[in-house]
Amino acid sequence: MTDITYGGYLRLDTLLSCQEPLTDAHDEPLFIVVHQVYELWFKQILHETARLQRRLEDGDSAGTLHTARRVATILKTVVGQLDILETMTPRQFAAFRSALGTSSGFQSAQFREIEAVLGRRALSPAALRDDARLRAAATRRSVFDSLLRYLARQGHPVPAAALERDTARPWTPDGAVQAVLLAVYEGEGGPAVEVCEALVDLDEGVQEWRYRHLKMVERTLGARIGTGGSAGADYLRSTLAAPAFPDLWEVRSRIRDAPL
């Protein structure tokens, strides 16, 4: 067996050399470490959502639930890291903010890819032109498209138009699809309901991240323009009412009360 060390396996020499503060401010290393860890978790989310889609399209209920729950748990961890950033006061952030130049969290290609995997299609032409991975994610089937294929494999009458749609176009909430989802929820339960609920958990996790991110930015920057000239809190606030899977939320208000 080849000898391998803990540090060698994890490439710790490389990993721990990636933090290079641009100022002497005490809190800049914290800012760097937290954001680098975010990117590592984003990488893992993309790895897991690829498997999630495969399992959905294979009709693997148990595997889908396991993977969706893992992604939701990772999202809770990502949200929890904001507690660490919020130990930094606005003045402490201001001590190194100017050194960040035009860099901004809005430039995270991996988070944009996660959004595309979940179904977001309103991406800038420049981003799509310059990033092949993002372009691919924004044109292939989304997680919700894979859910529709899963439901069809389970015998639910998903409309052919929904299954064969142009996946490069944004998803528009669909009454016929919602009728299928409503029938799933009002049936006898079973794995299809659990899978739908697991995706709602995932969607809620992303929405929780957006809300907590917004509050962190407001605590740190107030109403000022964001780092790198971004719209800051105003942009983040505009994303709060945009679930990835709107049909799964819409049907909840239409589920009839069951008799006692």
pLDDT at 105: 78
Using CA atoms of 24, 25, 26, 31 in order, give the dihedral in degrees to the nearest 10.
-110
Q: Is residue 130 part of a domain?
A: yes
**Cα 112 from chain centre:** 9
Residue 227 inside a domain? The answer is: yes
- Which letter, b or e, does each residue of 205-244 get, where b requires 16 or more Cβ atoms within 10 Å of its Cβ? bbbbbbbbbbebbebbbeeeebbeebebbeebeeeeeebb
- Count Cβ atoms below 10 Å from residue 126 Cβ, excluding itself: 8
Does the residue 7 lie in any domain? Answer: no
Let me know if residue 158 belongs to a domain: yes
- Domain extent, residue 242, equals 24-96+104-254
DSSP 8-state secondary structure symbol assigned to residue 121 = -
* Structural domain count of the chain: 1
Task: Supply the CATH number for residue 53's domain.
Answer: 1.20.58.480
| Rounded CA separation 229/27 (Å) | 22
> Would you write out the chain's pLDDT as a tens digit for each of its 260 residues?
678 999 999 999 999 999 999 999 999 999 999 999 999 999 999 999 999 999 999 999 999 999 999 999 999 999 999 999 999 999 999 999 999 998 877 788 999 999 999 998 876 666 667 788 988 999 999 999 999 999 999 999 999 999 999 999 999 999 999 999 999 999 877 899 999 999 999 999 999 999 998 998 888 887 655 555 545 566 667 767 789 999 999 999 988 875 54
